[in-house]
Amino acid sequence: MKLLTRMIAFLSFLIMFQYANAAGNSVYVDQIGSGTTVNFTQTGNSNTIGNATTKAKVDGNNNTVTVDQIGNSNVTALSVTGSGVTVQSTVTGNTNDVNISCGASGSCTASSITNTITGDGNTVIQSTEGLMTSVVTITSNNNSVDIQNDSTSVSGSKSNVNISSGGGNDVVIRQTGAAGTNGHEANATIVGATNTVEIKQGGSVDSKVVSTITGSGNTLTVKSNHQ
């Protein structure tokens, strides 16, 4: 009887352990320093890096941040600050939420954020301050992309959005601030149907917009000298 009781208790422990591991993992980091490499790797569902109220933070110059999430309903909430910063985020799955800001509390010069999304119903938000290059690549449907670049540099910010083989995607690019020398530049390439693209750019002089859309039922709105 004692042996049976022990076996039942042990099996109950295993079941509880499995359910605990079935839950998503949460990661929060507050890194300060230059020349640092930070790698996040998560596999499974409902994983989080930071959250809606407290983003994971990496502050410093010439840092490299890599995020790799595989699964569904994952969340990335990341804030980076500094010059020469490189952020690469790769998400594979559905209904993922990626929110990355650069320079929200300081400068972010000569830096780049690259998002690669494979899956449906994903949301990508990028908000930056400084001389930035934003890149978003999506191969799927019903995704939402929102890029807000505010450059106080003489040169403007650059954004590239590429959505292939997808439908029902919604893309908004807003780039404001001084851009007297090279100007802001926005490039959007979308293949699919019922996509919506809105590009707003404003600066001192220059503004360049290149948009290529292949498919039916698409909507494109471009506003230059927008503040």
Is the pLDDT at 132 greater than 90? The verdict is no
The model's confidence at residue 90, banded by pLDDT at 50, 70 and 90, is very high
Question: Left if phi > 0, otherwise alpha if psi is -120 to 50, otherwise beta: which for 177?
Answer: left
User: What integer is the mean pLDDT of 202-212?
Assistant: 80
Predicted local confidence at residue 53, as pLDDT: 83
Of 16 and 123, the one with more pLDDT: 123
Predicted local confidence at residue 63, as pLDDT: 94
Of 11 and 156, the one with more pLDDT: 156
Is the pLDDT at 142 greater than 80? The verdict is yes
